[in-house]
Structure 1
Amino acid sequence: MYRANEPIDGGQNQNAATVPGVVARPRAIRDHLTPILDDLNPGIVAPEIQAAHFELKPVMFNMLNSIGQFGGSPHEDARQHIHAFLEVCDSFRQQGAHEDVLKLKLFPYSLRD
């Protein structure tokens, strides 16, 4: 039986950290390789859309196709792609929608692979 604040290995591993009230259990190596994503912050959160009617119009996709999709190959320039993408996005405005919403919605369509 495991007890809190008592090393699992009977004191053989002097580096084992003990946390009061937490029962230490042995973990397989694969468990250390799997990331723990329970409390992960997604980082990018799209602002809420205040518009009564928000849609991505076909002309937006046509303009994105005109600049080409970015795939990450060595002969492609990521900075040039971002610059062209921002120019396309800046040509559109939708009442009640923050400009970042449009960029976040359209950006995945500017990529391939």
Structure 2
Amino acid sequence: MNSELVLENLENMAEQRKRTMGDFAYPHWDNNGSSIVRPPMQANNWEVKPQMIQIIQNIYQFEGLPDEDPHAHISKFLEICDTFKYNKILYVAVLLRLFPFSLKNRAKSWITSLPPSTITS
């Protein structure tokens, strides 16, 4: 094994040890490897409410099965998202944050397998 690579791996491990448990407990909301580019929010106090996620997950999730219609899924997803209105929030920013919650199983695997920053709108 290349000694420079070993040294780099050891340095990375040492850097990881400096992080606290709290550093690993919360998700990072940047585009850290995500296939979806989420535009920045104009409002400082906006958050995705758990009720919004539950509605999307409970009413209509797309699995990617052969008998499912992806166009119908998108139509239903937009219909649900149209019920949420926020002042000073870009609509596409909300859609891009909520869309992954509308997927499960094969469809969720597909979106997470895409290269980073593939989906921008």
Pairwise TM-score range, normalised by the shorter structure: 0.5 to 0.7
Q: Which has the higher helix share?
A: 2
Give me the CA root mean square deviation: 2.0
Paired position in structure 1 for 2:38: 46
Residue 63 of structure 1, CA deviation: 1.7
% identical equivalent positions: 42
1:110 corresponds, among 76, 84, 102, to 102
Amino acid at match of 2:61: Q
Larger radius of gyration between Structure 1 and Structure 2: 1
Structure 2: which 5+ runs fail to align? Answer: 1-33, 106-121
Matched, 1:69 2:56: no
Moved over 6 A (4+): none
- State the TM-score, normalized to the length of structure 2: 0.53
- TM-score where L is the length of structure 1: 0.56
CA contact (8 A) 2:60 2:76 kept: no
CA–CA distance in structure 2, aligned partners of residues 43 and 72 of structure 1: 17
Aligned residue pairs, count: 72
